[in-house]
Amino acid sequence: MLSWRRVGLHSILLLCLAIVLAGCGEASGSVWTSYEGAVNEKSFPVPKVANKSDQSENNSDMDYVRYTLSGINEGMSLPEVYLDEIKSWGWTEKEAKQSSNTSSNLHVFAKEGHIVQLAVHDGSFTLMVPRNETTQTTVKSLGEDD
């Protein structure tokens, strides 16, 4: 026969486990629900939980900011909810012309003549904004054919 003490202990352990599991599930989902403007392009959304880890200082061609974000990696595509948020901020995804230094984890977005390049890495992503027209990536609409 189980004692009341043992039943109480099991109940407390189950309650603690449920709280931990609920908290972990909520944290991973909340990454893609709250946004703020990027450091180098205020009109481009970045998840609020992303932490700025590096920013260009002396690069005359490109203004870049690296953000750390757990759970993101080069092998995954950007979540649809994030792509929808980028679109709702007025940005349109363009297709980067493939070259030897262009990888599949590079996304290019355009808005009112401005270009933002988003490169996904393991545990981080980098936002790059060309500083002048000569360094802007050649882009084409996803609907265009060569």
User: What pLDDT digit, counting tens, does each position of 71-90 carry?
Assistant: 888 888 889 999 999 999 99
Specify the range with the lowest mean pLDDT, choosing from 98-102, 104-108, 125-129. Answer: 98-102
Question: Which has more confidence, 22 or 51?
Answer: 51
Residue 122 phi/psi, 5-degree rounding, is -75, 110
Tens digit of pLDDT for each residue in 46-71?
Answer: 999 999 988 887 777 889 999 999 88
Token digits of residue 24: 């972990």
* pLDDT in the model for residue 25: 46
pLDDT for residue 135? 45
Give the pLDDT of residue 29. Answer: 56
Quick one: pLDDT at residue 26? Answer: 41
Q: Two tokens at 50? A: 């992303």
Alpha carbon distance, N-terminus to C-terminus of the chain: 77
- Residue 122, pLDDT score: 93
What H or E segment, with its residue span, contains residue 59? none
Name the average pLDDT for the chain.
81
Partners of residue 36 on adjacent β-strands = 46
Task: Say how far apart CA 121 and CA 16 lie, in whole Å.
Answer: 35
In 3D space, the residue among 40, 49, 123, 131 whose CA is nearest the CA of residue 82 turns out to be 49
